[in-house]
Structure formats: structure tokens, C-alpha cells
Amino acid sequence: MKLSIGNNIKSLRKAKNITQEQLAELVNVSCQSVSRWESNACYPDMELLPTLAEFFDVTIDQLLGVEKIKEQNMVENYANRFQTALSHGKIEDCIAAAREGVAEFPNNYTLLNQLMYALFISGDETGNIENAEENARQYDDEITRLGERIMKYCPDQAIRLEATARLAFHHCEQGRKSMGRKIYEQLPPMTLCRENQMWWSLEENEKLPFLQKQIKECSDILYNYIWLLANSGKLSHTDSLFILNKAENLRNLITEQKFIAYCDVRLHYDKARLYGQMGYMVQTCEELAVVDKLAEAFDNRPDSQTIHSLLLGEIPIRRTDFETADTRSIKAIFREDWLMDPAFDKIRNTKKFNTLEHFLK
């Protein structure tokens, strides 16, 4: 257990508005001892703990930071419950875990952020959430209040920026695009983000993992932009297919060790949909067969695996990392929803399509 007694003594001393010299005199130790405590170079002797706790009017557990450690462990348990439920599309369980955590720790911003996210996801109409539209209306004000509170008071920059972006997106989803735009404009530009500036401060042993992490994150961002362009509806079907193939090539370029991700399943489904809209029966059915194979592989992926790549280093992938608003398997979604897309109407009654559909059922 890593104690935070040094930080606590420093914080409590400053709250009392006394110097290290004054505290040293009050507890009959040297000023150097107090300095070493506060720099976490060593701990106070055990016999001094009651005196220090009494002087600062706290319990010994609070002085040692044990209560904070207990809180962190409990928050981590709530967060794990939340993430497990989210990976299975059990959004009501996500909301319940987050609300339970916030009730116990009402000022914990990790849990407040998770509650905001769960309420936001509960309005996702692309999943199989009952009353998604009603949830979006019901939780609108609460999502906004949580987002504004986190933006204003959260000391953790990463959580604050995440909630800021989500609040802006929420306003856009609710038809308040001007409000969303105003919040988005408060976010720092990509050129000034931490990752683009930190290289010059890194030690030699930090440079390789830093670069590999940034390549991973930047390639994910680039892939997403390429996918959005292909599905923007602003290009011809032929150009969109060309761009989706570029996205697939990017995935193959970045990592030598192939693994099945949700984006692979979705990409081939998008290609099948475009072929269907163009009336290309053979190519449509070929792509749908690939989707079926990839969906089954994704649904049966291991609970955890590690991907090795020269560009990315070692990337641990957990089954619970996948976030969804749908309790069904991807193969079930493919069969029950995706195949019903009007893009396949032109070939729906053909023998080849019916054979594939029968096989899936």
C-alpha cells in the first residue's frame, strides 16, 4: 500500500498556515525531518502519528491517507463494474453502478463522468436499448448539469476535456448545434495538444513507448476520419469504395499482427452496402460473407490478448475495452439489423442472397 502521508502533512500544514520550522518545533523534531516527510523521502516515526493527527485534527487513517486509498479502491471497483456492463451493452447496469458510486462518493469526478457517459449512451438509438428516444429526453438536463459541473470544477484535465467534448456532442445530438459548436471551440487545437509538444521533455527511455503510443492514437484518428469521409454521403459510391479500401490498407500497414476489431466488421459491411446500392450482386454477397466471418471471429475473441507491432509496440487488448449500447452479439446485429438495410433490396430476392440469408439464420 502506497501511503500519501507526506503530501497530507504538507497540505494540512499549509491549511494551518504554519512553516516547516514551526511544525518541527511543535512536534519536537528537526526542520530537515519535516522536509523529508513532505518530499516523501521517509515517514514520521510511529510514535509521532497520534501527536500529528491530534494537532491537525484528523484521524491517523486520514493522516496516513488510508481513507483516500480505500476510496480509490472502491472507485476502481465501481469503474470495473461499469466497464464490464458497458462491454455487454447493459446500459441500465452502467447507470446503476455509476449512481451507486456517486451516492457514496458524490464529489468523485471519475464516477460523475461515468454517470454522464452512461446517461448519454442510454439515448443511443443504434443499439437495442428500449425507450432510447425517451431516455435522451429524460436525461437531457441531467447530462447537461453533469457536464457543466465537471467542466467548471474537475481538477483532472483529461476528465474535464472528455466531459467537455461529450457535452458539446450531446447538445448537437439534441439539435442545439450552436451551443455544441461554442463548447467545441473551447477545446485546444490539435497542434497545441500535449502529445505534440512533449517530445522535447522526454528522457531517452521514454521516447520509444511515447512514439509507439502516439502512432497508435494518431492512426486511430486518421482511420476514423477516412471512414467518416467514405460514409459522408458527399462522394460517389465508387469513390467511397476506393476510400474504404484505403482505410483497410491503413489497418494492414500499421500492424503486422492481424487481429479482428469491430471497425474491420463494420468496414466490410459498409463495402457490401455500397456494392448493394450499385447493384453488384456478386461483390455484395462476397462482402457479406466476409462480414459474417469477421463478426463470428469478433464475437469469439479472447478475453485478453496482446498485439505485437514494430510501430505500435505491445498493445494489450481486453474484451471489456469494447463499448456498446447493444446486448446482442455482432453477428446477431448483422443478421437482424444490417441485412435489413434497403441497400440490399435490389438483390434481396436473388438465389445467392437468399442462400446467404438462410445460412446466417
Per DSSP, 310 falls in state: T
Q: At what angle do helices 204-230 and 262-277 cross, to 10 degrees?
A: 20
Tell me the pLDDT tens digit for each residue of 74-84. Answer: 999 999 999 99
Tell me the pLDDT tens digit for each residue of 93-136. Answer: 999 999 999 999 898 999 999 999 999 999 999 999 989 999 99
CATH 1.25.40.10 fits 75-188, yes or no: yes
pLDDT of residue 171: 97
Q: Where are the beta strands (DSSP E) in the chain?
A: 304-309, 313-318
Global pTM? 0.79
pLDDT of residue 1: 47
Which residues make beta-bridge pairs with 351?
A: none
| CATH top class, domain 5-64 | mainly alpha
236 or 256, which is more confident? 236
Per the document, the length of the chain is 361
Map out the domains of the chain as residue ranges: 5-64, 75-188, 208-360
Query: Is residue 325's pLDDT more than 90?
Result: yes
Of 37-46, 189-198, 218-227, where does the model show the most confidence? 218-227
What percent of the chain has a predicted confidence (pLDDT) above 90?
68
3-class state of residue 203 by DSSP:
coil
CB 272 within 8 A of CB 288: yes
pLDDT of residue 298: 97
Report the mean per-residue pLDDT for the chain: 91
pLDDT of residue 115: 97
